[in-house]
Structure formats: C-alpha cells, structure tokens
Amino acid sequence: MVGDAIASKLIALGHEVMMGSRDAKNAKAAAWAERIGGRAQIGTFADTARFAQVLFNCTHGANSVDALRAAGEKNLAGKVVIDVANILPPAVRGPESLGEQLQKSFPEAKVVKALNTINCEVMVDPSKVPGSHSVFMSGNDAAGKSTARQLLEAFGWRDIIDLGDISNARATESYMSLWLALWNTLGTLHFNIKVVH
Amino acid sequence: MVGDAIASKLIALGHEVMMGSRDAKNAKAAAWAERIGGRAQIGTFADTARFAQVLFNCTHGANSVDALRAAGEKNLAGKVVIDVANILPPAVRGPESLGEQLQKSFPEAKVVKALNTINCEVMVDPSKVPGSHSVFMSGNDAAGKSTARQLLEAFGWRDIIDLGDISNARATESYMSLWLALWNTLGTLHFNIKVVH
C-alpha cells in the first residue's frame, strides 16, 4: 500500500519509477505497473537499486534490513534512501531505530528518515488533512536531506521539520505509539500533528 | 519545577494545596510555601496524600513508585492521582509505562496520565504557545478522568484528547522522544503539538 501510494505519486510527478520486490514477477507490483502503464516498471530489489538515484524503503520495518541487503550494498552506495518504514508494535523496537540500523548496515547510502509519521494517503497528499500540519525528516547527509526535502515539497508538504542526524529517527519511530492511540481514538487514518511554537 | 508550577496554579485557582516531599522540612517546598503564603502548605508525601482529594505526581518518573509508596497505599485509595511524570531518557523505559506501573502498584487509586507531553510552564498556561494545541489524558476511571478534565480546563486547556484506558500512557510517554528532538530543534520549551483531522 505504501509503495503503491508513493510510486504512483512519483509517476504523477513525472519521474521514472521502478517498484522493487523480492520476486521480479511479484503479482501486486505487476498489477500496479499494468494499472499505471507507461513509465511504471517492476523488478527485483537489486534491479530497482541499480536503476534508481533515489530509493524509498516501503517494506515492513521488521524486514527492511533484509530487503536492502537483497538490493545489494554496492547498488545502494551514494544513493538517497528515504526510509518511511516503521516496526510495529513500537514496544518491540530495540534501543536503536530502524533508520539508524539501515544507516549502520549500509554506510555508503544516504539514509533519510521521513514520512513515517502519517498514513500513506496523507504522505503523498497532505491536503487529505485540513490546514497546516508537520512532517519530519532526519539524516546524516545534507545533500540527501535536500533531495528528500524537494520530494516532500513536490508531494505538497510545507511544514518540513529537519530534526538533525539519523539518531532522530528514534523520535519519529517512537511517536508511532501515540499515532496508534490517536488512530484508535479518532477513528480515521487521515490525521496528523502540527508542531506549534 | 513541575510541582511548583502546578501547585502555584492550583493556589491561584483557589484550591487548598499541600506540597509533599520526602522530608517535611524540604527547603524548596518551604521556600515555595513562604513565597505563596496563605493557603500553601507543606508536608511529607504521606501528609499530602492524607490531606488531598486529588494528587499530582510531579516526582521524577524513575522515583515515582517509591514516592507513592511513601505516600501510603491506604492514603491513595479512592483518590485521583494525576501522573504528569516521565522517565527520561525514554529509551530506558520498559514495555510498561509509568502510568500503568502506578495503576498496578496502587490499584485503589484513580490514576490519570495527563500533561506529561509539555513543559511545565505550558502545562499551567497553554497560552504560552500560540493558537490551538492539544493535551492528552488516559486512565481507567471515568470519574477520575472527569476530575482531571475539569482541572485541565481550569488551567486553560481546550483541546483535551481522552485516549482511553491507562495503557495509553505508553503512547504519551513514548512521545517524549519526539518532544526532546523538537526541543533540540526549536530551541524553546514553549512548543506543543496540535492534533489535526
């Protein structure tokens, strides 16, 4: 769902997009490519990592290190990896965030944690939630964050808060516990928080 | 600091207030009572728990169970205990929140987790942050939450979100990790989040 939402938005914005899966013939990826047509491509994780300048990690957080290993460390070198994944439930998370684990496992990738604090429909269309609200990013590489910021702006985000280096992925991943409680309380996935000061 | 802010606000609202400490002659508590005069009283944790209908737990989260044990389980029975404490850094927190630990340790108290997601100056004066913003509460006892809501309203809060039972203390305590990152990023303690939907 998350990969579909982001890949479709990137296509709409005019990008060349490949959706990577474990299996090059993944049925959901194939259905997506058929629905979109034109510039939509599919491939293995490794095909995708070779193809792209910028990668979105939309795998389940518990499987993300394995998925990026399958993509190939060499293929990730120098690439911006925007990590939108979470490990749920947040309670089972270790002291280190997924964002930090990815950066440590793939030191030559430019990992940027972003967009993991909202539902995927809101990620690619912030107007799904009324008024102004905030999105966070963190990462060690300034150029990687600049690329991520441009993409977030293209998605429609205006209040983009740079929390600093990738250790701050802990902050946004920990927020998932409050996000889940708010989803349960509000009864909608179309919500977010606005930082006010 | 938190106890001073809340106790002073309660005095300003016309309540009788006792500030409890380990030691009945605690210097900071005595200085507070002297500064405030009139209805400001001080005592041990046990004196305070016997005195009050509603207690605010403003101790350091790591010491809160011990402080409430010193207050006396019998003295807490039937009382509303508004737990505003956090255990910092959030990473060392176990799978169970402080709010849940307090409710489990003192089953006859009506524990309400609230106000732990903002700086103490904002807790008692939400107008320190411009515009509308949100405060959360959770607890198992409806009457306890009703009392807490009335106090929050008297403090000036308008957007009070009831997250449900005390297990939701986990959600707001986990948020402290994002709160710390935002404090570091924004450079001010006078900030908060507004839930938008």
**Structure tokens that stand for B81 in this block:** 């205990």
Q: CB–CB of A188 and B174 under 8 A?
A: no
| 3-state DSSP assignment of residue A133 | coil
Residues A79 and B119: their CA atoms lie apart, in Å, by 39
pLDDT tens-digit series, residues B24-67: 999 999 999 999 998 999 999 999 999 999 999 999 999 999 99
CB-nearest to A196 from B95, B138, B191 is B191
Number of Cα atoms under 13 Å in the Cβ half of residue B149: 14
Average pLDDT, chain A: 96
Which tokens is A12 given?
């709409």
Instruction: Tell me which residue of A130, A146, A134 sits closest to A171, measured CA to CA.
Output: A134
CB contact at 8 A, A53 and A43: no
| Sign of the four-CA dihedral A96, A98, A102, A105 | positive
- A5: alpha, beta or left? (left if phi > 0; alpha if psi -120 to 50): alpha
The mean per-residue pLDDT over the stretch A94-118 comes to: 94
Residues in chain A: 197
Residue A68 — φ and ψ, nearest 5°?
Answer: -75, -30
Chain B positions contacting chain A at CB under 8 Å are 90-91, 95, 129-134, 136, 138, 161-164, 168, 170-172, 174-178, 180-182, 184-186, 188, 190-197
What's chain A's Rg over C-alpha atoms?
A: 16
Give the pLDDT score at B89.
73
What is the C-alpha to C-alpha distance for residues B61 and A130, in angstroms, rounded to an integer?
Answer: 36
Helix or strand run (H / E) with residue A57:
strand A54-57
Phi/psi zone of residue B159: left (φ > 0), alpha (ψ -120 to 50 degrees), beta? beta
pLDDT at A93: 53
- The candidate with the shortest Cα–Cα distance to A141, out of A79, A58, A63, is A79
| φ, ψ for residue B26, nearest 5 deg | -50, 130
pLDDT at A92 exceeding the cut of 60? no
Over residues A94-106, the mean pLDDT reads: 91
Share of chain A above pLDDT 70, in %: 97
pTM: 0.96
Query: Is the pLDDT confidence value at A91 over 90?
Result: no
Inter-chain residue contact B194 with A194, CB threshold 8 Å = yes
Kindly report, residue by residue over A10-52, the tens digit of the pLDDT: 999 999 999 999 999 999 999 999 999 989 999 999 999 999 9
- Closest chain A CA to residue B187: A197
CB atoms within 10 A of CB B168: 27
**Chain B residues close to A161, C-beta within 8 Å:** 182, 185
Is A174's CB within 8 Å of B130's CB? Answer: no
Question: What is the value of ipTM here, to two decimals?
Answer: 0.95
Domains of chain A by range and CATH? 2-186 (3.40.50.720)
CB atoms within 10 A of CB B131: 11
Give the tokens for residue A132.
């102004």
CA distances B45 to A145, B39, B55, B87, B98, Å, are 50, 18, 10, 20, 18
So what's the pLDDT on residue A88? 81
Q: Distance of CA B149 to CAs B33, B66, B138, B139, B194, Å?
A: 26, 26, 11, 11, 17
Q: Which segments of chain B have a pLDDT < 70?
A: 90-94
Distance (Å, rounded) from C-alpha A81 to C-alpha A166? 12
